[in-house]
């Protein structure tokens, strides 16, 4: 492939890139400034979560609460009915012991962690928002202007309302579920509200830089898209100008080559039709006629 063909291909690629960037930029501008009145976006991902045994052993109730025999040994020797007192102390701490048992078992059953982001991208308040997911465990919600909420959940998390531009972040620690969300159950992750239902879009675990930028700073990402659009147009224009210069150079070289060829043909024709050339030819022919070859 010649250099000119290679440059031509890159010029086409540059123009196509500029058109694609223009389309994406216009689409982003439209979606940013001309949103629907009711619009809700929901996205998230899940990953494995395992609590180290070191921490689980640290909250073992048997190691924290004393038995009746251990308590009795700590009581004064002169105290009457030491065994009865120790038994009452142990009974009083039984409820706390069971609570710690349950908490430790719940933490041990956590096998995955999910994080979700629900945003009101419209220009009207959305009410009665509920996040439905085929999981159970513990959740934490973080909404701007409100206190962080934490509680247990079972398939549904009530989120209340979201003002225009508002968003809520949700973290869930799921018990007895792994981190894989199969395609057959993705449709069960959805957000309901008074005006409809929105399916959750699952992002890859390692979100790209552009994806993180868009999720975290949508306004900055819009400026970044404009910057990409501007650079793409400049590159496409530069490649187009370079291509035009190359074509112009080729045309000039072709024209110059044509002029040289025409000039050479003109000179050759003039030489063949000159009087000296004709006289020289006639002289040679006359000499051949006057002086015939001698017999051998």
Q: Are residues 64 and 101 in the same domain?
A: yes
On whether residue 146 sits in a domain, the answer given is no
Domain assignment present for 64: yes
- Asked if residue 181 is part of any domain, the answer here is no
Among 48, 71, 106, identify where a domain stops.
106
212 pLDDT above the threshold of 60: no
Q: Which residue has the higher pLDDT, 11 or 118?
A: 118
pLDDT, tens digit, 9 for 90 and up, residues 213-258: 454 455 555 566 666 766 766 776 666 666 677 777 777 777 777 7
In a domain, 123, yes or no: no
How far, CA to CA in Å, does 78 sit from each of 59, 111, 236?
34, 52, 96
The count of structural domains within the chain is 2
| Residue 263 binned pLDDT confidence (cut-offs 50, 70, 90) | low
Residue 235 inside a domain? The answer is yes
Please tell me whether residues 68 and 102 are part of one structural domain: yes
Neighbours of 26 (CB within 10 A): 11
Q: Read off the pLDDT of residues 269-288 as tens digits, 9 standing for 90 and up.
A: 555 554 554 454 444 444 44
Q: Determine the angle formed by the axes of helices 3-33 and 218-272, rounding to 10 degrees.
A: 150
- Has residue 295 been placed in a domain? no
pLDDT at 130 over 90: yes
Average pLDDT, the chain: 74
- Domain assignment present for 219: yes
pLDDT interval class at 290 (50, 70, 90): very low
Per DSSP, helices labelled H in the chain are 3-33, 53-58, 61-64, 68-74, 82-92, 94-109, 183-186, 209-216, 218-272, 275-290
Pair 120, 187: CB distance under 8 Å: no
> What's the whole-number mean pLDDT along residues 15-27?
74
Q: Which range marks the domain in which residue 91 is found? A: 60-106
Q: Which residues contact 243 (CB under 8 A, 6 or more apart)?
A: 7, 8, 11
pLDDT score of 23 more than 70: yes
Considering the entire predicted model, what is its pTM? 0.51
Q: Does any domain span residue 167?
A: no
For residues 139 and 257, the model is more confident at: 139
């Amino acid at each position: 492939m010649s250099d000119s063909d290679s440059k031509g291909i890159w010029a086409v690629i540059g123009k196509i890139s500029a058109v694609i960037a223009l389309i994406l930029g216009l689409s982003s501008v439209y979606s940013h400034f001309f949103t629907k009145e009711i619009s809700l976006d929901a996205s998230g991902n899940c990953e494995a979560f395992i609590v180290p045994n070191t921490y689980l052993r640290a909250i073992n109730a048997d190691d924290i609460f004393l038995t009746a025999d251990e308590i009795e040994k700590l009581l004064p020797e002169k105290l009457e009915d030491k065994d009865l007192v120790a038994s009452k102390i142990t009974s009083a701490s039984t409820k706390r012991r069971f609570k710690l048992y349950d908490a430790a078992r719940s933490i041990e059953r956590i096998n995955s962690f999910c994080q979700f982001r629900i945003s009101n991208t419209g220009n009207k308040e959305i009410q009665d928002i509920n996040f439905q997911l085929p999981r159970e465990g513990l959740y934490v919600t973080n909404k701007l202007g409100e206190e962080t909420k934490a509680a247990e959940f079972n398939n549904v998390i009530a989120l209340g309302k979201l003002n225009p531009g508002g968003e809520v972040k949700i973290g869930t620690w799921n018990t007895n579920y792994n981190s894989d969300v199969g395609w057959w159950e993705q449709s069960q992750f959805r957000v309901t509200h008074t005006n409809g239902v929105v399916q959750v879009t699952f992002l890859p675990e390692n979100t790209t830089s552009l994806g993180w930028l868009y999720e975290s700073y949508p306004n900055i990402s819009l400026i970044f898209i404009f910057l990409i659009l501007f650079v793409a147009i400049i590159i496409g224009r530069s490649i187009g100008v370079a291509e035009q210069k190359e074509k112009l150079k080729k045309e000039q070289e072709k024209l110059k080559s044509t002029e040289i060829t025409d000039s050479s043909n003109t000179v050759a024709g003039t030489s063949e039709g000159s009087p000296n050339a004709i006289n020289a030819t006639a002289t040679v022919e006359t000499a051949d006629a006057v002086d015939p070859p001698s017999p051998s």
